[in-house]
């Protein structure tokens, strides 16, 4: 399969599936091998996903060079296509192949180890007789143990050799050393009885390998469940689309659909790509996108998103985004990148793992020396050394963080919450304060004109016509409300000249030879225009939560227009939920103080937590001011003017109804405009971090308690092997249990 790489500002991006990694040391080795290549900008390897994400300069190297570097490090690599169903197929096939490989290895090991284990049990129980004598015969044990040691267990020797050659030590090194010590001891006792070496421990090495292989098999199956979310998302896109070309309706593969194509969708079918409805009416289930269960009515002019489900009528739409440009493909890319990224807490595990294995080898030698010097018992010394080697494998430590991040980001995507990286998922749980933009975030962002107040010399109709003409080139939501009313009244609008948008203050334009100003009191004061005659009406409207815009023509006040924006349903409930979580809630707006406080009162925000009359270029500094107080701040916004504040915050959260700029700048994207998504994102972050801390605790406790017990002889190699296998499986399983968490349920 040809790799797909995505061009980015800093280079090209490629993803590789990696086969053969067993612990954090392996992933670190692959990461170093990729990072050393000339032209590689960044390289991240995820043990849980068994994937590498590389940003590189395509003028210096290609995907094939990346693959060769991984293979030179001792692992297999295959390219993955971003966000394509084929990528899911390849990942699934590789996962299934690895599971089958471990099944074969475990089956072989179990077949030959079972008699050895039975013989050990019979011997320990004091059972004599023919069967016990047969199974405890040295040559019989040798014949049973050897296929396990060098057949099923060959993968450990191979991997250990590759890593040691590269001056790296990983789990395979520990398993190979530990089992070889027990096997070699037993072989020496069998071949040279004159040495007087007591007993055989073939069953120890064979059962150890079997238990480790069982752990790897269970771990591979469990890890497959952590990447379920990506496969679900990829499965949402149909493989074909019904396209009208040259008057004919054709069933085409999805990758052949082009922008501008007319696409037909029948009841019960998934929308294949993004587009705009041109004919027909229906309701569409967008729950995969927003997490909201209620279908959304669609008609001519409405946007539809690929992957959503058409519930009722048929409709035809024009494709506007296809391939990697669709919303679904972008969501998949964001989730893939988030799962491949490393949360800051992962650095602890990485640092520990890098020095852990060499340290363990040293501890095992000390355990051997200590036992031999104090007791002179070679058997006990070897068993203690083997137990230390096996119990110390840092597999659980390497899986503790990435498995939880995978499940957390995938679960977020299922609920319409996109985390753009593990670092953002982690940061969200530390937040102290939430800063909410007003227009489009707390309110619907769809204002409507409520009042036109003309001063003497002006009629309501003429004032509205002049204001609407001046606002024709404005992209502000308030301008849209004014224009909508003027068009509804069928007023003849003039084309403005010398139009100038004044951020945070209003607009200036020349309409039919007259200089028109529409905007705030600040704008009028700057122009030296007296507006005392409008103060009473202005105050009354603003106290009612409406935005009053003053109008001046040729340097004289002409009246005002008022626009109201409705508070989003559920906004008050969402803010209450955030406050119940112990968060400070602030509102940030360019609107005047009276209007802002009126809206704030409706949703339960205290008056002293309202930051009003803030110019767009001042929003970021307001966020910085809160951070300077020691608060960890999230900014929630939807507009272009929110982008600097989103970037300045510890966590930027964009609502999905907002602009592309805001969505690109934000760290977390809420695919719906529902503010309850903020609380859901923070709950999910807190729960994911709780899982990570649990995983790290048990992984570290396991090693911290296990190593001394093994060194002191309280833990046999077989029990150590069972414990090691259980530790990895338990960590992955604990992460998978996160899938049961409902982030939208009240805490």
Instruction: Identify the DSSP state of 591.
Output: S
- Say if strands 633-637 and 433-437 run parallel, antiparallel, or are unpaired: parallel
Selecting among 82, 159, 261, 437, the annotated active-site residue is 437
Q: How far is 578 from 239, CA to CA, in rounded Å?
A: 41
Containing 56, the helix (H) or strand (E) segment is strand 51-56
Q: Is 594 helix (H, G, I), strand (E, B) or coil?
A: helix
Q: How far is 364 from 181, CA to CA, in rounded Å?
A: 11
* Half-sphere exposure for 71 (CA within 13 Å, toward CB): 10
Query: Which distant-in-sequence residues (6+ apart) come within 8 Å of 125 by Cβ?
Result: none
Rounded alpha-carbon distances, angstroms, from residue 414 to 292, 405, 571, 674? 10, 14, 22, 15
Q: How far is 596 from 588, CA to CA, in rounded Å?
A: 9
Query: Which distant-in-sequence residues (6+ apart) come within 8 Å of 743 by Cβ?
Result: 411, 412, 415, 417, 680, 681, 683, 684, 687
Q: Is 65 helix (H, G, I), strand (E, B) or coil?
A: helix
Q: Where are the beta strands (DSSP E) in 542-688?
A: 547-553, 556-564, 584-588, 610-611, 633-637, 651-655, 668-670
Q: Which two three-digit tokens encode residue 192? A: 């040279």
**Nearest-CA neighbor of 390 among 356, 349, 360?**
360
Query: Which distant-in-sequence residues (6+ apart) come within 8 Å of 740 by Cβ?
Result: none
Q: Across-strand partners of 248?
A: 245
Told to judge if 437 belongs to the known catalytic residues of this protein, a careful annotator would answer yes
Q: Is 581 helix (H, G, I), strand (E, B) or coil?
A: coil
Distance from the first to the final alpha carbon of the chain: 46
Inter-residue contact 407 to 607 (CB < 8 Å) = no
Q: Which two three-digit tokens encode residue 291? A: 């997490």
Q: Across-strand partners of 19?
A: 76
Inter-residue contact 612 to 640 (CB < 8 Å) = no
> Rounded to an integer, what is the distance from CA 661 to the centroid of its chain?
20
Query: Which distant-in-sequence residues (6+ apart) come within 8 Å of 112 by Cβ?
Result: 144, 145, 147, 148, 152, 206
Q: How far is 88 from 397, CA to CA, in rounded Å?
A: 27
Containing 463, the helix (H) or strand (E) segment is helix 460-470
Inter-residue contact 645 to 666 (CB < 8 Å) = no
Q: Which two three-digit tokens encode residue 126? A: 């004091």
Block residue for tokens 């112990």: 582
Catalytic (active-site) positions? 437
């Amino acid at each position: 399969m040809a790799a797909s790489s995505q061009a980015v500002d800093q280079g090209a991006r490629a993803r590789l599936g990696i086969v053969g990694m067993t612990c954090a040391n392996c992933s670190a080795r692959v990461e170093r091998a990729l990072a050393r290549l000339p032209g590689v900008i960044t390289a991240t390897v995820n043990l849980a996903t068994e994937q590498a994400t590389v940003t590189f300069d395509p003028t210096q190297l290609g995907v094939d060079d990346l693959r060769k570097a991984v293979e030179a490090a001792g692992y297999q690599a295959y390219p993955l296509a971003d966000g394509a169903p084929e990528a899911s197929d390849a990942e699934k096939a590789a996962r299934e192949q690895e599971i089958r490989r471990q099944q074969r290895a475990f089956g072989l090991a179990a077949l030959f180890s079972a008699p050895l284990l039975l013989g050990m049990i019979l011997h320990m129980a004091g059972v004599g007789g023919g069967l016990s004598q047969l199974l405890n015969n040295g040559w019989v044990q040798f014949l049973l143990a050897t296929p396990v040691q060098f057949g099923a267990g060959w993968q450990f020797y191979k991997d250990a050799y590759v890593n040691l050659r590269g001056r790296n030590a990983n789990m395979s090194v520990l398993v190979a050393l530990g089992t070889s010590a027990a096997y070699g001891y037993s072989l020496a006792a069998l071949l040279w009885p004159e040495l007087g070496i007591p007993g055989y421990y073939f069953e120890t090495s064979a059962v150890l390998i079997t238990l480790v292989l069982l752990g790897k098999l269970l771990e591979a199956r469990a890890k497959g469940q952590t990447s379920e979310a990506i496969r679900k998302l990829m499965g949402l896109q149909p493989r074909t689309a019904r396209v009208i070309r040259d008057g004919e309706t054709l069933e085409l593969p999805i990758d052949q659909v082009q922008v501008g194509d007319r696409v037909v969708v029948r009841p019960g079918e998934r929308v294949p790509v993004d587009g705009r409805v041109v004919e027909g009416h229906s309701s569409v289930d967008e729950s995969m996108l927003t997490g909201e269960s209620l279908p959304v009515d669609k008609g001519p002019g409405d946007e539809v998103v690929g992957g959503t489900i058409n519930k009722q009528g048929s409709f035809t739409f024009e494709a506007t985004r296809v391939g990697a440009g669709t919303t679904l493909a972008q969501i998949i890319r964001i989730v893939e990148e988030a799962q491949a990224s490393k949360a800051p807490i992962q650095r602890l595990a990485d640092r520990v793992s890098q020095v852990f294995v060499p340290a363990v080898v040293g501890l095992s030698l000390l355990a051997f020396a200590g036992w031999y010097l104090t007791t002179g018992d070679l058997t006990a010394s070897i068993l203690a050394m083997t137990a230390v080697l096996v119990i110390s494998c840092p597999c659980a430590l390497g899986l503790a963080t990435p498995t939880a991040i995978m499940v957390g980001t995938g679960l977020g995507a299922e609920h319409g919450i996109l985390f753009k990286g593990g670092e953002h998922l982690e940061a969200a749980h530390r937040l102290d304060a939430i800063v909410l933009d007003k227009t489009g975030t707390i309110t619907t962002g769809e204002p409507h004109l409520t009042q036109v107040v003309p001063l003497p010399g002006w009629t309501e109709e003429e004032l509205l016509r002049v204001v609407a003409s001046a606002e024709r080139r404005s992209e502000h939501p308030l301008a849209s409300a004014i224009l909508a009313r003027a068009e509804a009244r069928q007023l003849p609008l003039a084309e403005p000249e010398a139009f100038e948008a004044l951020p945070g203050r209003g607009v200036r334009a020349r309409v039919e030879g007259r200089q028109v100003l529409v905007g705030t009191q600040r704008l009028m004061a700057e122009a030296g225009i007296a507006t005392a005659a409008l103060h009473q009406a202005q105050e009354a409207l603003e106290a009612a939560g409406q935005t009053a815009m003053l109008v001046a023509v040729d340097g004289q006040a002409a009246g005002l227009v008022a626009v109201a924006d409705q508070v989003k349903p559920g906004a008050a409930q969402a803010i209450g939920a955030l406050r119940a979580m112990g968060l400070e809630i602030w509102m940030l707006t360019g609107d005047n103080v009276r209007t802002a406080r009126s809206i704030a009162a409706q949703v339960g925000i205290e008056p002293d937590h309202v930051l009003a009359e803030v110019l767009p270029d001042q929003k970021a500094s307001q966020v910085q001011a809160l951070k300077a107080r020691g608060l960890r701040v999230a900014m929630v916004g939807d507009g272009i003017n929110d982008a600097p504040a989103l970037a300045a915050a510890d966590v930027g959260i964009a609502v999905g109804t907002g602009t592309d700029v805001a969505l690109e700048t934000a760290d977390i994207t809420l695919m719906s405009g529902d503010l309850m998504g903020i609380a859901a994102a923070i709950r999910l972050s807190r729960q994911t971090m709780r899982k990570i801390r649990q995983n790290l605790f048990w992984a570290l406790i396991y090693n911290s308690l296990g190593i001394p017990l093994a060194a002191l002889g309280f833990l046999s190699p077989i029990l150590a092997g069972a414990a090691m296998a259980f530790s990895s499986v338990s960590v992955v399983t604990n992460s998978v249990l996160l899938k049961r968490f409902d982030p939208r349920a009240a805490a």
